[in-house]
Amino acid sequence: MSRPPLAREKVLDAFEALLVAEGERAATMDATARGAGVSKGGLLYHFASKDALEAGIVERLRALVDEDVAAMTAAPEGAVAHYLYSSVMENDPLDRAILATSRLAQGGNHTAADALRDVREKWADAIRPHAHNETALDLVMLVGDGLYFNNALSGGSIPGPVPRGAAMDALVALVQRAIRS
């Protein structure tokens, strides 16, 4: 697969940043062009409409999730451990794409909402062979959700626990034992 042009990625980066920082209503075509440092014509060359920008974010998310699932299935520590460790947000491209797509879904974009459901299902499909039943799979997914949620709140007024180092290793080991029994 060939890489998209740098200018196109710069525009998507700007749109994504606006979505994450200010929400769907603030992520206008004009604000995106300013954020990307391109003219409105330059933006329109790559994305003819806001719908096209939104589709670009969803496409980016899907590609990043496919990379993540490939990494999960190939991870030496195993898919479950990889999923749990990566559930602690690092503000990496996947985290930003998830947040941006979530903002679109919150604004009523059904394609974005469907993409988020698809992401969750892809992760579940990668973990399912390592869990002895659907309840064990639910445990892994819910622990991952909790880690992600608490980490997202860590800078806010309601911080939750986000284990690090040995504490995270112990949590991963506990979950792995629980899903095998």
156-175: per-residue pLDDT in tens?
A: 556 667 888 999 999 999 99
Specify the CATH number for the domain of residue 64: 1.10.357.10
Query: Does residue 1 sit within a domain?
Result: no
- pLDDT at position 63 over 50: yes
pLDDT digits (tens, 9 = 90+) for 73-103: 999 999 999 999 999 878 899 999 999 999 9
What was the pLDDT predicted at 163? Answer: 84
- CB under 8 A, 24+ apart: contacts of 53-56: 53/11, 53/12, 53/15, 53/27, 53/29, 54/104, 54/109, 54/111, 54/112, 55/111, 56/8, 56/12, 56/15
Query: Does residue 108 sit within a domain?
Result: yes
- Give me the domain span that covers residue 33: 6-180
User: Please, which pLDDT band fits residue 3 given cuts at 50, 70 and 90?
Assistant: very low
Query: Does residue 173 sit within a domain?
Result: yes
